[in-house]
Structure 1
Amino acid sequence: MDRTSLKDQAKAELNPNFSYYLRISLPALLLTAFVALVPFPLNENMHRAGIRVVAHGSRRMMTNGYWNNIAMWQTAVTFIGLLTALLMIGVSFAMIDGLRGRSDHRFSWTQMFKIFERGEYFLGSLLIGLLQVVWVSLWMLLLVVPGIVKGLAYSQAQLIYRDAIDAGQPIGYTEAVTRSRQLMYGHKWEFFVLLLSFLSWWLLELITFGLASIWVIPYRTMTLANFYLKLTEEQA
């Protein structure tokens, strides 16, 4: 699968409709910025406060205050990260519709929160994501590389699940993961290299303090959606 063609086709869909795709990506972009920027200074400040507490010999105060605050923020960041991932899955759904010529590119709140458009979308994406995390983590306990390979193999599960629902042939959560593994057979390296090809864009996001994400995240998401689309077309 030619990476240049995938990216060119993604840009051909994204660029003339950028305003639409940016608006439906906006909640996820804002949450991504929050997760990236807010926790670090708070944790750093709490760490300094913890050091001051220890210096004054009050271990109890440190336990009840410092560590409770850390736990609270870690829980909040985890929840926001999960919500962001689900919103981006919904954006991928909308982008696949655009690539398939099924979208009129008219902005609506349902497109912005497409993952909640149907209960099956939300629940399926959430539970499949949990399965992916558990199974990849178990593989990681063996070695890092097998965990990465399995992560690549399971990467298309939510998209497969959604297509099955839309086709009126719903499947189970584990079946979606199994079909993703089958779909990605012989294509995991292609997908890995495609992800690596965005390394320079990730660096651009970093040096621009996330400002480049306004274009890079929709572009990357559209390209990955196009990868899934071409893969399913090839194996149809």
Structure 2
Amino acid sequence: MYNRAEQKQEVKGLIRGHQRFFFILFLPFLLTYIAYNVLANQVSFNSALKVDATNVTTNITSNDAVNYVATFIFIILSSIFLLGAIYTAFNVLRGQDDFQKPLRKSLTFIDDQRLFWGTTWTWILRSILLSLWSLLFIPGFLFMILLPNASGLSLSIAEFIAVFVWLVVKSFAYNQALWVYRDARLENKPVSAYTAIMTSQDIMKGYKVDFLVLQLSFTGWMILVAITSGIVGIYVFPYYYITQVKFYEFVKEQFKQKHTALEVE
């Protein structure tokens, strides 16, 4: 059985024992995260402005274009830094790290080009699959169009809720795909992106509710991150993401034990 409270306490103890290491390890991600939020807010603010002067409108549009490009760049950078930090967290939990050179280790995601591109494709394919599942919303819109009455509205709302719940379930099922792909690559047993996603789905069987509760337990922390424009992320991000890594380690071990038991039988 997954013990959320116990695992979170273990993560807190780990961070307390190596505060400097984890602070520097997640610092590049934190800085790019803050920069991204500043730019995103600026774009939203500019988009909300309504002006009549043609030359002023042109300037705002030009600035928005620059901000959009910069925002996209910061999204890529923050993803690279975050995955580098998470990969290092895996090594820490598996006793494969010496707690040295944390800044350099925040870039470990791009050290292995095959792993880099394979992970990227796994993420893209996972997004595509979830997008395809979202097409299930279409019947709800059809109910609204073909049955413009109370019954049609009720059917639409029920369908929307059912599809939303299904999408959450599938997103949880696919959540561990990146880590499955990484482990397979590092163990010299590479798998395809699709296989990693399907394996993640198998691994998460019976643990989706635990995963949901785990995410909800960080709601207060994430609100604080938003309120402080990311500043408290200096503590929250290591705490949150290392806890996610420990969750994966747990469900992976449970999956292995179940597989071993079936083979013995």
TM-score, length-scaled by structure 1: 0.88
- 2:191 maps to which residue? 171
Q: Classify 1:203/1:234 alpha carbon distance in 2 versus 1 (closer, same or farther; 3 Å).
A: same
Preserved contact between residue 6 and residue 226 of structure 1 (Cα < 8 Å):
yes
Counterparts of 2:102 and 2:238 in 1: how far apart (Å)?
A: 17
- 1:87 maps to which residue? 81
Indicate which of 180, 184, 200 corresponds to 1:160. Answer: 180
- 2:124 maps to which residue? 130
SS for the counterpart of 2:18 is: helix
The 5-angstrom pairing of residues 225-236 of structure 1 reads: 225-236=245-256
Tell me whether 1:7 sits opposite 2:1 in the alignment.
Answer: no
Which stretch of the first structure deviates more once superposed, 139-148 or 90-99? Answer: 139-148
Q: Classify 1:205/1:13 alpha carbon distance in 2 versus 1 (closer, same or farther; 3 Å).
A: same
Counterparts of 1:99 and 1:124 in 2: how far apart (Å)?
A: 23
- 1:139 maps to which residue? 133
- 1:200 maps to which residue? 220
Counterparts of 2:218 and 2:61 in 1: how far apart (Å)?
A: 37
Which has the larger Rg? Answer: 2
The 5-angstrom pairing of residues 13-24 of structure 1 reads: 13-24=14-25
Counterparts of 2:97 and 2:24 in 1: how far apart (Å)?
A: 15
> Residue deviations 1:74-119, cap 9 Å, x none?
3432342233223212211111111111111112554120101211
- 1:118 maps to which residue? 112
SS for the counterpart of 1:105 is: coil
Give the Å deviation of 1:46.
5.5
Give the Å deviation of 1:172.
1.1
Counterparts of 1:147 and 1:230 in 2: how far apart (Å)?
A: 24
Q: Classify 1:103/1:171 alpha carbon distance in 2 versus 1 (closer, same or farther; 3 Å).
A: same
SS for the counterpart of 2:26 is: helix
SS for the counterpart of 2:172 is: helix
Preserved contact between residue 13 and residue 99 of structure 1 (Cα < 8 Å):
no
> Residue deviations 1:135-158, cap 9 Å, x none?
112222323222222111111111
Give the Å deviation of 1:227.
0.3
**4+ residue segments displaced more than 6 Å:** none
Counterparts of 1:12 and 1:204 in 2: how far apart (Å)?
A: 21
Indicate which of 188, 194, 211 corresponds to 2:208. Answer: 188
Unaligned regions of 5+ residues in structure 2, if any? Answer: 137-162, 257-265
Preserved contact between residue 25 and residue 91 of structure 1 (Cα < 8 Å):
yes
Aligned residues: 229
Amino acid at match of 2:117: L
Amino acid at match of 1:123: W
Preserved contact between residue 110 and residue 117 of structure 1 (Cα < 8 Å):
no
Preserved contact between residue 204 and residue 212 of structure 1 (Cα < 8 Å):
yes
Unaligned regions of 5+ residues in structure 1, if any? Answer: none
Indicate which of 221, 238, 243 corresponds to 1:223. Answer: 243
SS for the counterpart of 1:209 is: coil
Counterparts of 1:68 and 1:131 in 2: how far apart (Å)?
A: 33
